[in-house]
Amino acid sequence: MDTNPENLAKQVEETVKNPGNPPLDQWHPELSGDMDLRISRNGQWVFKGEPLAREAIVRLFSTILRREEDGEYYLVTPVEKWRIQVEDTPLLAHSLRVAGEGDHQVISLTTNVGETLEIGQNHPLEVGTYPGSEEPRPVVTVRHGLEARLVTAAYYDLAEHVVERNEDGHPVLGVFSHGIFYKIGQGG
Whether the per-residue pLDDT at 5 is higher than 70: the answer is: no
The percentage of the chain sitting over the pLDDT mark of 90, rounded to a whole number, equals 80
Above 80 in pLDDT, residue 1? Answer: no
Closest CA to 35 of 90, 86, 79: 86
Whole-number average pLDDT of the chain: 90
**Which of 12-16, 19-23, 163-167 comes out lowest in average pLDDT?**
12-16
Q: Which tens digit of pLDDT belongs to each residue from 29-75?
A: 999 999 999 999 999 999 999 999 889 999 999 999 999 999 999 99
b/e string for 11-49 if b means 16 or more Cβ within 10 A? ebeeebeeeeebebeebeeeebeebebbbeeebebebee
pTM over 0.85: yes
Which residues fall within 8 angstroms of residue 155, CB to CB, at 6 or more apart?
Answer: 136, 138
> Looking at residues 83-100, what average pLDDT do you find?
97
